[in-house]
Structure 1
Amino acid sequence: MGSMERVKVPMSMLLVQTFTTGMMLLSKVVLSKGMFVFSLLAYRNAIGVLFVAPLAFSFESKIIFLININICCLIFLFYFYRVTLAMSLYYYGLKDTTAAYSSNFLNLIPIITFIIAVILGVERLRIRSSEGKIKLVGALLCVGGAVVFGVYKGKILHIWPSHQRGSFLLICSCFSYAFWFVTQVKLYKVYPSKYWGTVWTCFVGSLQTAMLGIIMNRRKEAWRLKWDLQLLTIIYSGILNTGATFCLISWAVSQRGPTYPPMFNPLSVVFTTILESFLFGQQISIGSLLGMTMIFGGLYAFLWAKRKEILMKGKTSEGDGSVAVLPVSDKD
């Protein structure tokens, strides 16, 4: 088992958080300049379709014929959570706040996803095992670090958020993201495709957001594209944050479960704060450094426990003499 093979899934999630950081910084700029949220969503998902479709035809040419009415309904529900609710609410929350402030709310997604997955039986808590205890402590430490990162600055404790409307929208977005991660498990069981699943999801999402956007704003100015930062944001978000990210997250969920990808969300807070400090002169406080330490410690504990659980599951299946489809191949 090579060292590179072991880190493929975590490295892919690290890449997703890098894409997310760039998306948040670019989106904050264009939204502050008046870009219509639903036009951004509709265009970026159309770009996502154009980017992923050639990959789907090349690597999954046969899976397209597996589509049926049940899968269509799941895809509709899947993207309703991902874009119509989660992304639109997040963009409106981002528009009312700042990139660093809104990115901190992404850290609620891991614990919300974890709780929902346990309640629905998608994820087992296994609290009696040492791995289960460490996984739970890691998740709480990671989220706790994100809270410290966001509210403790070293001298002043910001108990009440200054952006009330934006905060409410961001919290609602977190719940929608959590349901999206859990929904992916069902979708992957009936439609095991990371490419075609992404194509159909982006296509449906583009239609949903376009229709809602037209209802909300029919002015041509809201939908007109120019050769400026808005177009760059759409292309960047469409290729990296919609096309590539959807494929990587779908693959990670199939390998590690729905609670695995959102555990990396706190990293985007760290990346965003560092970049804002470097680009815009924002100060990094002692509270930020403490939060970073807790985030990295909690993330390491969670990933270690998750891997131990997977290895134990593999040994149990071998001991029973049963042939099981495990979420991780022997290469991982």
Structure 2
Amino acid sequence: MGWNLQLKLKKNARGVMPYAGMVMVECMDVGLTTLSKAAMSRGMSHYVFVFYSNALATLVLLPFSFLLFPRSNRPPLTFSLICRFFFLGLAGITLMQNCVFTGINLSSPTLGSAMSNLVPAFTFILAVISRVEKVDWRSSGSQLRILGSLVSIAGAFVVILYKGPSIGTPPSSPPLHFSTSSNSNSNSLAASNWVLGGLFLAVASISISIWHTLQAATLKKYPIEMIVVSFNSFFGTIQCLVVALILERDPIAWTLKPDLELLSIFYSAVIGSVVTPCVLTWCIHEKGPVFVAMFKPLSIAIAALMGALFLGDTLHLGSVVGAIIIVIGFHGVIWGQSKEERRIKEDDDDDGGVETSAVSIEKAPLLRNHREV
């Protein structure tokens, strides 16, 4: 009896762990954006922040990956692979992270979490344009993905272009809309920063979608993920250094203070670039990518709560309405992808395992988290 009870408890614990792991991942992800926003609000340069955090991650990842995979256990590196690693670093780190932290600095972590749900839609659109993904217009799964992508983009426009009245606090000034002129210079500047921040976050979503597509093609040629991630981080660090040297001319900005700035860099390097990808990989292995993707909208609520508690942010009606629309579109894309995968599997079974021309989630990873680097 005791042995059976112990086995049952272990089985239940293992079943609960993926759920706890995904909640932890979303909390850590939002915690990174909230902590970085707090550090940047104290005057820390986001260009310097991105460089230092990636440099620290590279110092951890690169030696460890080569120790874990010696030359005898890995394929040789070619010039074409090095070029792919360079562009992976450019899209997945340099462009994406600089745009993310610039956008969050101008707006809020809540907007950043809402806009991150655009990644599956943008990835699907890019895969169709580049003919990596073939669309069967008669398939309900393809129709759902197209409709979900359009709905997500419409929700992003709502979040960016309409801020709306604050929620939970009495309005001290007229509601802030992008389409109407403000009576005060501060409100006008806030509106401009909000829109500009949203545009930076949209560019970040597009760049991580490009990274997803390129990463899938690279892993076919070099299937050792740890090495790919390490070189991704290495080239991204060099590129971020060049960007920071060009755009950040103040020498004082490069001096780190042993306070929130150093803590945010350490958190970004260790938690954001090492711990989070490991937990995500384990959850995908246990439950699959659709399970992981379903937790992404949770980050909006976590970001709103953390922003209100630690940053004093105010939640606005436009963010809530736009986030709801984006999440509806997000689930439309995920639902359509699931239906398409089931259809492909059924066709494979009917054809005796013959490959179809459609691309699976592994080939076009629409569902991976945008913070994975």
- Compute the TM-score of the two structures, normalised by the length of structure 1: 0.77
The amino acid of 2:299's aligned partner reads S
Change (3 A) 1:275 1:245: same
Q: 2:263 pairs with 208, 214, 232, which one? A: 232
Partner of residue 118 from structure 1, selected from 118, 121, 128: 128
Q: Which one of 206, 223, 230 corresponds to residue 199 of structure 1?
A: 230
How far off is 1:130 after superposition? 1.8
Stretches of structure 2 lacking an aligned partner (at least 5 in a row): 1-10, 167-174, 180-190, 363-373
Which residue is equivalent to 2:201? 170
Larger of the two Rg values belongs to structure = 2
Match of 1:315 in 2: 346
Report whether the alignment pairs 1:158 with 2:189: no
**Aligned equivalents of 2:118 and 2:217: distance in 1?**
22
User: Which whole-Å deviations, capped at 9, do the CAs of 1:247-279 have from their partners, x for residues lacking one?
Assistant: 677897xx989x998897654333211322344
Alignment-mate amino acid for residue 99 of structure 2: L
Aligned to 2:140: 130
Shift of 1:316: 2.3
Please tell me whether the aligned partners of residues 110 and 303 of structure 2 are also in contact (alpha carbons under 8 angstroms).
yes
RMSD: 4.1
- Paired with 2:12 and 2:321, the residues of 1 have a C-alpha distance of 30
After superposition, the Cα gap between the structure-2 partners of 1:293 and 1:41, relative to the gap in structure 1 and judged at 3 Å, is closer
Equivalent position amino acid for 1:31 in 2:
M
Residue-by-residue CA offset, 1:138-186 (whole Å, 9 max, x unaligned): 4444454555566364795734443254444334333323322222122
Contact 1:198 1:246 in 2 (8 A): no
**CA–CA distance in 2 between the matches of 1:148 and 1:215?**
34
Pick closer, same or farther for the CA change 1:295–1:168 going to 2, 3 Å.
Answer: closer
CA 141–10 in structure 1, closer or farther in 2 if over 3 Å, else same: farther
How far apart are the structure 1 equivalents of 2:350 and 2:12?
Answer: 26
Q: Provide the C-alpha distance between the structure 2 equivalents of 1:5 and 1:89, rounded to a whole number of angstroms.
A: 37
Alpha carbons of structure 1 residues 303 and 54: separation in structure 2 relative to 1, 3 Å: farther
**Letter of the aligned partner of 1:81 in structure 2?**
A
Q: Which moved more, 1:75-84 or 1:127-136?
A: 127-136
> 2:164 touches 2:316 (CA, 8 Å); kept in 1?
yes
For each residue in 1:199-244, what CA deviation from the matched residue of structure 2 results, as whole angstroms up to 9, or x when unmatched?
1111111122123323444655322333211111111111222234
Aligned to 1:80: 90
Cross-structure match for 2:239: 208
The reply on whether 1:272 has 2:296 as its aligned counterpart is: no
Q: Does 1:98 align with 2:112?
A: no
Q: Which segment is superposed worse, 276-285 or 90-99?
A: 276-285
How far did residue 53 of structure 1 move? 4.3
Residue identity opposite 1:228 in structure 2: D
SS at structure 2 position matched to 1:162 = helix
Give the structure-2-normalised TM-score: 0.70
Aligned pair count? 324
Q: 1:52 to 1:8 in 2, by over 3 A?
A: farther
Gaps of 5+ in 1: none
Distance in structure 2 (CA, Å) of the matches to 1:316 and 1:12: 34
Is this contact kept in 1: 2:145–2:333, CA < 8 A?
yes
Once the two structures are TM-superposed, the CA of residue 75 in structure 1 deviates from its matched residue by: 0.7
Q: Quote the residue 2:50 is aligned against.
A: 41
The more displaced of 202-211 and 239-248 is 239-248
Does the C-alpha gap of structure 1 residues 140 and 5 become closer, same or farther in structure 2, counting only changes over 3 Å? farther
C-alpha contact 2:127 2:213 (8 A) present in aligned 1 = yes
Q: Does 2:50 match 1:19?
A: no
Q: Residue 131 of structure 1 aligns to which amino acid in structure 2?
A: G
**1:308 to 1:186, Cα distance in 2 relative to 1, 3 A:** same
Q: 2:172 matched to which residue of 1?
A: none
Q: Does 1:189 align with 2:220?
A: yes
**SS of alignment partner, residue 200 of structure 2:** helix
Measured at CA, do residues 141 and 327 of structure 1 come closer, stay the same or move farther in structure 2, by a change above 3 Å? closer
Q: Are the equivalent residues in 2 in contact too, given 1:149–1:291 (CA < 8 A)?
A: yes
Shift of the 282–35 alpha-carbon distance from structure 1 to 2, 3 Å rule, reads closer
